[in-house]
């Protein structure tokens, strides 16, 4: 919940409080912003928070040059307020005097009135020293200039040496708005034509890999997009839209979608094959299942939903094995940083290790639910090999009835045990990993 003292505060104070929580590892940016959606200055708050997360490590390095001594840990909100001010001075078209005045006013809502002169001095000092700071940043380590935590920068450079610079650049870009065409209702060409006929709608183009993918040149509210309310379209990145084809769906199959929220892949499976015997859909949180239900209803689709821990098969499984299983595993989400830049603040090497343990618990449990001859598609939105090809290699070494099925495609990077999409540019897909396993 928003602190009472911040409900009427200006957006800089609220952005600083959100950023401070994220630095402390609390919550997520999307979750925290949801509490502020009813406020008039939400667009500025959203832009500021996303930008500050995207460039936090760079802005923090600049701040350290402007301070005579570090800000105390107990004053984290003050440190974050200064980062908010620096971001707005560097990146937004807000007048400099407004950024400085509003940042100084924000310290009252943050209950640090003693810091007014400090905030004023630091931000004005930045304006005076911009050229000097730009010269010093050119000499900084690449991790700082790309604004990545050092541990993640080192992992990416080590694992993807040829692609690292592209990964950093694309992860810092603004993500595209990508749509999935419901081909039960319309063809992609029909959707593109309908969008082109709407005045002031941004240009739309077909995706390169999935036959259902459409990219909008600029984002729009979904209600403005022709056909969305009628169920012609859904919001889904192109990387996720590759899943149904990889599952090799056929009529009369029993399919499990584990860890399914928010349900984009669930709906796409049903759009791709209408004659499944059953699609069982699991997610741990009942609230997230409600969102899947809303998507199914909008698209006039049906599935069997259960709120359960997919790894606790005693809780939900009836003992009848599945022909196909989709395990979109919880992961570091390092392939979708452009959509969720708070990942740079929230993730740690220790958390990645814990996630690998969760992935192993899920895969080992669900493997028993798969029929002999059946296929399990393991996916993550991670680019870290310990969650992907190395993880699958470890599973194959311990499971005597599992075989990797090579994915032949003209997209991504072929790995020993899967195929990896790396984060694309403004007209490309997110980072995503796929491994297809057959049970024998």
Which class in CATH covers the domain with range 240-439? alpha beta
**CATH 3.40.50.150 location in the chain:** 240-439
Task: Enter the pTM of the model.
Answer: 0.95
Q: Is residue 257 classed as helix, strand or coil in its secondary structure?
A: strand
- Report the pLDDT value the prediction gives residue 2, as an integer from 0 to 100: 55
**CATH 3.30.70.1170 location in the chain:** 177-235
Distance (Å, whole) CA 65 – CA 63: 5
Cβ neighbours of residue 30 closer than 8 Å, sequence gap 6 or more:
340
Superfamily of domain 4-140: NusB-like (1.10.940.10)
- Report the pLDDT value the prediction gives residue 1, as an integer from 0 to 100: 53
Distance (Å, whole) CA 114 – CA 296: 53
The one-digit pLDDT tens for each residue of the chain (440 residues) are 556 556 667 999 999 999 999 999 999 999 999 999 999 999 999 999 999 999 999 999 999 999 999 999 999 999 999 999 999 999 999 999 999 999 999 999 999 999 999 999 999 999 999 999 999 999 999 999 999 999 999 999 999 999 999 999 999 999 999 999 999 999 999 999 999 999 889 999 999 999 999 999 999 999 999 999 999 999 999 999 999 999 999 999 999 999 999 999 999 999 999 999 999 999 998 999 999 999 999 999 999 999 999 999 999 999 999 999 999 999 999 999 999 999 999 999 999 999 999 999 999 999 999 999 999 999 999 999 999 999 999 999 999 999 999 999 999 999 999 999 999 987 899 999 999 999 99
Distance of CA 286 to the CA centre of its chain: 21
- Report the pLDDT value the prediction gives residue 264, as an integer from 0 to 100: 96
Residue 132 burial (CB count, 10 A): 10
Residue 372 burial (CB count, 10 A): 9
Give the total residue count for the chain. Answer: 440
- Report the pLDDT value the prediction gives residue 200, as an integer from 0 to 100: 87
- Report the pLDDT value the prediction gives residue 35, as an integer from 0 to 100: 92
Domain 177-235, CATH number (from 1.10.3720.10, 3.30.70.1170, 3.40.109.10, 3.30.300.20): 3.30.70.1170
> Positive or negative, the Cα torsion across 431, 19, 24, 76?
positive
**CATH 1.10.940.10 location in the chain:** 4-140
Residue 315 burial (CB count, 10 A): 12
Cβ neighbours of residue 121 closer than 8 Å, sequence gap 6 or more:
none
Distance (Å, whole) CA 85 – CA 120: 10
Which of 52, 53, 80, 381 is catalytic? The answer is: 381
- Catalytic, 381? Answer yes
Q: Which DSSP state fits 330?
A: -
């Amino acid at each position: 919940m928003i602190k009472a003292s911040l409900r009427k505060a200006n957006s800089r104070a609220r952005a600083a409080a959100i950023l401070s929580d994220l630095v402390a590892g609390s919550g997520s940016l999307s979750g925290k912003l949801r509490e502020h959606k009813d406020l008039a200055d939400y667009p500025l708050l959203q832009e500021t928070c996303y930008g500050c997360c995207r460039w936090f490590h760079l802005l923090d390095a600049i701040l350290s040059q402007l301070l005579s001594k570090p800000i105390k840990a107990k004053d984290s909100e003050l440190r974050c307020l200064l980062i908010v001010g620096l971001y707005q001075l560097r990146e937004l078209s807000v007048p400099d005097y407004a950024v400085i005045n509003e940042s100084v006013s924000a310290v009252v809502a943050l209950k640090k009135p003693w810091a007014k002169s400090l905030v004023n001095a630091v931000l004005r000092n930045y304006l005076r020293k911009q050229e000097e700071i730009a010269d010093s940043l050119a000499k900084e380590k690449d991790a700082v200039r790309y604004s990545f935590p050092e541990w993640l920068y080192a992992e990416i450079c080590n694992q993807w040496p040829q692609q690292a610079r592209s990964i950093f650049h694309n992860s810092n870009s603004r993500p595209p708005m990508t749509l999935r065409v419901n081909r039960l209702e319309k063809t992609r060409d029909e959707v593109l034509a309908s969008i082109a006929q709407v005045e002031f709608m941004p240009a739309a183009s077909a995706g390169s890999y999935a036959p259902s993918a459409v990219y909008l040149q600029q984002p729009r509210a979904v209600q403005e997009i022709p056909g969305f309310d009628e169920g012609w379209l859904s919001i889904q990145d192109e990387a996720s839209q590759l899943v149904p084809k990889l599952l090799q769906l056929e009529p009369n199959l029993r399919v499990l979608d584990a860890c399914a929220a928010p349900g984009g892949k669930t709906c796409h499976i049903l759009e791709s094959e209408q004659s499944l015997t059953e699609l069982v859909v699991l997610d741990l949180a009942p609230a997230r299942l409600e969102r899947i239900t809303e998507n199914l209803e909008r698209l006039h689709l049906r599935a069997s939903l259960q709120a359960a821990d997919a790894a606790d098969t005693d809780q939900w499984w009836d003992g009848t094995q599945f022909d196909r299983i989709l395990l979109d595993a919880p992961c570091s989400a390092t392939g979708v940083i452009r959509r969720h830049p708070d990942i740079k603040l929230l993730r740690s090497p220790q958390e990645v290790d814990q996630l690998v343990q969760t992935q192993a618990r899920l895969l080992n449990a669900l493997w028993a639910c798969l029929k002999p001859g059946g296929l399990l598609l393991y996916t993550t939105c991670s680019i870290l090999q310990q969650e992907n090809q190395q993880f699958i290699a470890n599973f194959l070494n311990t499971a005597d009835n599992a075989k990797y099925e090579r994915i032949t495609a003209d997209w991504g990077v072929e790995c020993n045990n899967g195929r990896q999409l790396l984060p694309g540019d403004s007209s490309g897909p997110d980072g995503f990993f796929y491994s297809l396993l057959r049970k024998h």
